[in-house]
Structures are given as C-alpha cells and as structure tokens.
Amino acid sequence: MLWRALIIVSLVLGWPGWSLADEPVVLDVRTDPSGGVRATASILFPAPVSVIQAILTDYAHWPELFEGRMRVADLKVQDGVATTDLRIEHALLPGERRLVTESRLLASGELVADLKSGDFTRYHRRWKLTSVDGGAQTRADFELVFEIDSVAPDWLVSIATRRDLESHFRILKEKALAQVQQSGR
C-alpha cells in the first residue's frame, strides 16, 4: 500500500531522479500542402551541444543513425559545406533512392541541409541546437520538408516518416548518452 502511495506522489509531484532527458520527443509529421511531407520536432538530448553537433556532422557515419538501409556513396567537405550523396532503401519504395544534399553550419549555430540532386523534388532539413541545464543537455528544434519523386502517396510517406524519425531520434539519444558516459570515465 505504501508503494502505491509513493508511486502516485512521484507521478503527481515528479520524481527528483528523473532528468530532462526522459522528456518525450514532441514530433509532428503531416503532409505538406505544397506536396511532400513536413516534420517538426522538439527533442531534449542528454548531452551538451558539442556532442550532438559532432554526431550530426559525422557525415560518414550517418547510416548508423537510422534503422533503415542507407549508405554514403560519396562525401566531400569543402569550405564548410558537406556534400553528401546518400543511397536509401525503404520498404515503402522499391529500389534505392538517391539523395544528394549540401549541409552547412550557419553562424547562428543552426545546421541546415538542402537538396542538390537525386530522387527528391524537394528537401530541406534544419537543426537548431540550444544549450540547457547549465550546458549538460541540448534542446533541439528539428524541421524537415521533403518530397520524393515517387508514385507513393504523401499520406503514406508521412506515416513511414513518423516511424523513421522516432527511431532516428532514439538512436541519436542513445549515441549521445554513450559518448557522455565514455567521456565521464
């Protein structure tokens, strides 16, 4: 009986052992009126901005951040711009899709990527990273707008995108936490 009371009190008042890293991801994925899919998210990562930024800009290892099949076909970094040629396989679409983007870190600290070429008609991704909790954690605002040159309906692509982003954010959190724990030893 005492345990039930403690659990209820903990849920109502908040357990002091729970950190901000346990906050859920706030994710909104929907079809875009202009065509394609628009996704926005707010994520709290259990690591400083420098760790999250390092993971997100480690372009050669991007495939490790996703559960789906992806490979880096080519990568060039020049003058602060990373041109990444990705090949993506997805159960929703037959074959491989090519996505070539240019990514850059803006003076504002935002990390943006825009379509250069490939099997997409539109692609824009933005990460805005903000230090919180005295620098121990990162609040990330994420935006993705894309359209695949495909016959798959946008509503179906949006459903798959939600699932893919949920796993992507989980993997990012796990990698960030592992790096923080390694550096703390």
Confirm if 104 and 112 have CB atoms less than 8 A apart. yes
- At the top level of CATH, the class of 19-183 is alpha beta
pLDDT exceeds cutoff 70 at 9: no
For the chain, what are the domain ranges? 19-183
How many CB atoms neighbour CB 106 within 10 A? 11
In tens, the pLDDT along 45-55 reads 999 999 999 99
d(CA 1, CA 11): 16
Closest to 121 in 3D by CA, of 33, 29, 35, 30 = 35
Q: How large a percentage of the chain has pLDDT more than 70? A: 86
One-letter amino acid at 110 equals E
Average pLDDT over residues 84-96: 88
Pair of tokens at residue 29: 């994925």
Write down the mean pLDDT value for the chain: 86
